[in-house]
Structure 1
């Protein structure tokens, strides 16, 4: 399939690496000065052939023969309007127009598409898309079922784990769950309960290890013994409700921002961020490979 990648920043380049790995023909487009050079350099860093995709600054030309379009432009409604007006006019009618937007509702994106709003949806990846399987597929008010099925099938063919949302919400699902965790983490820092490093350690050496394998509901079920999640809800539900009442409601004041920034700096302890990212990605490869060889996870 010919796939058009609109916007070649971090997310667009990562999508391209994935599309190329699965044998798709890719044409990429980005109007920013120097975008092509940066794009091809990132592809090389990610192990993809930097010369494989076509590149053009002409948005309409890029999508003219595409079977699927993955848009990764600026996270601003007015920017999406400009992009999707061109996509609507130039892309083949059967092409799905998927936006990687992490928060703009698909119904808002569809407003720019007078011809074929029924093929517009959100296909929100989790960063980096070429490694993390999750894709949140969010249809808008005018999205057709054919487009939803086509997107789910396409992402599945890439080895992704797409999930379909039944309602439009700011931040979709995964980012809302992250935001809930960040909210309490920031509050704990603000209260001086623990350092940034200790809070990160509480996740990475505790529940985060399980969360990479089983989700919060199944995790609760398995922790409930023979009674499963029914036992957990009956016996630990009331204390959990009490905890909910004590969760923080922080505000990102200049003081809190500085605490967080300084805490991350201390946690890195002089380690190069690139080296940490490289180790993270290497371990992700190992984890995903191990999960692929299990029967249930």
Structure 2
């Protein structure tokens, strides 16, 4: 990343107006999150029914956000849906782009956002895998472009991974990390680009092994999901896999664990190469998920998931940031 050459943005805690470009599941989730934290949000999406779907998503998320704790003055009425991208970003202090995962589209869109947004606005992409180095190639001011990778749904899952590209100013990365923290997110600031970032790479390893087991008839979708929700997932909600494994070493910690279990790493337990996603495997996965849903609709499953995440966050004491001082200070900006 380059030395700072971007105009000085406002202090992250003073941001009042956010723009969200792309209003699908991820972009709409960002809109809901920012509204709940007391920001004014302007959104844009090219789909003809985008506004209707976006407002429906925000309304569906609002009960969960209310349980989490809204910032004073937080309101769905602070949402404006613009008719053009340029109108959406014109007055923004921060821009979150959440377009589909198509590299050429990302390049074009980020260049348009860069051309239209105020010079001091930092611009982040929600990409789940592309490095910013590959996306910032057409922007006139690439120093302010970076990745702010969320997890679905962004209005509930705290994590956001922040990393810049080769032409991103380090000052922009540091500013964005502080902004996301002020907005109530849990931030990992990465020192270097990594395809898929951190969490997605870990998820991908588990996902590929799950596909192999279904493909080979070794386990059902229900078995695989239960093995996580009734097993290590309960620990991972508050303690990651590395520290969890360290506890397996008893008082000797990770050192004893590695000495004791290290040789098993050479056992051919896992198959990290992805299996061929043919029609048979696809059918097995789809039918397995239908069986696991047991008659529940997608809406019912979403509500169940949202409540489950809230319960876990509450049980593990991670709701303290909902009424932060920064959020309360923004409440005066109606």
TM bin (shorter chain):
over 0.9
In structure 2, distance between residues paired with 1:8 and 1:245: 38
Deviates more, 1:46-55 or 1:253-262: 46-55
In structure 2, distance between residues paired with 1:3 and 1:156: 15
Q: Which residue of 2 aligns with 1:97?
A: 123
Q: Which residue of 1 aligns with 2:202?
A: 177
Q: Which residue of 1 aligns with 2:138?
A: 112
Q: 1:37 to 1:293 in 2, by over 3 A?
A: closer
* 75, 79, 104: which one aligns with 1:53: 79
- The answer as to whether partners of 1:71 and 1:100 remain within 8 angstroms in 2 is yes
- The answer as to whether partners of 2:35 and 2:41 remain within 8 angstroms in 1 is yes
**What is the TM-score normalised by the length of structure 2?**
0.84
Q: Which residue of 2 aligns with 1:35?
A: 50
Counterparts in 2 of 1:1-297, with a 5 A limit? 1-47=16-62, 49-114=75-140, 116-244=141-269, 249-292=274-317
- The answer as to whether partners of 2:35 and 2:76 remain within 8 angstroms in 1 is no
- The answer as to whether partners of 2:209 and 2:271 remain within 8 angstroms in 1 is no
Unmatched runs of 5 consecutive residues or more in structure 2: 1-15, 66-74, 321-334
In structure 2, distance between residues paired with 1:188 and 1:223: 26
Q: Aligned-pair distance for 1:249?
A: 4.7
In structure 2, distance between residues paired with 1:197 and 1:218: 27
Deviations 1:198-256, CA, capped at 9 Å, x for gaps: 11111110011111111111111122111000001111011122145666652212211
Structure 1 consecutive aligned stretches of length 4 or more whose deviation exceeds 3 Å:
48-51, 243-249
Deviations 1:27-72, CA, capped at 9 Å, x for gaps: 1111210111111111111117443211112111211111100001
Deviations 1:156-203, CA, capped at 9 Å, x for gaps: 112211102223222111111111001111111111111111111111
In structure 2, distance between residues paired with 1:23 and 1:160: 14
Unmatched runs of 5 consecutive residues or more in structure 1: none
Q: 1:166 to 1:61 in 2, by over 3 A?
A: same
SS of the aligned residue for 1:292 comes to: coil
- The answer as to whether partners of 2:39 and 2:78 remain within 8 angstroms in 1 is no
SS of the aligned residue for 2:156 comes to: coil
Deviates more, 1:62-71 or 1:159-168: 159-168
In structure 1, distance between residues paired with 2:270 and 2:33: 43
Deviations 1:135-164, CA, capped at 9 Å, x for gaps: 011210011111111110111112211102
Q: 1:164 to 1:130 in 2, by over 3 A?
A: same
In structure 1, distance between residues paired with 2:44 and 2:207: 34
- The answer as to whether partners of 1:187 and 1:248 remain within 8 angstroms in 2 is no
SS of the aligned residue for 1:46 comes to: helix
In structure 2, distance between residues paired with 1:170 and 1:293: 29
Q: Count residues with an aligned counterpart.
A: 294
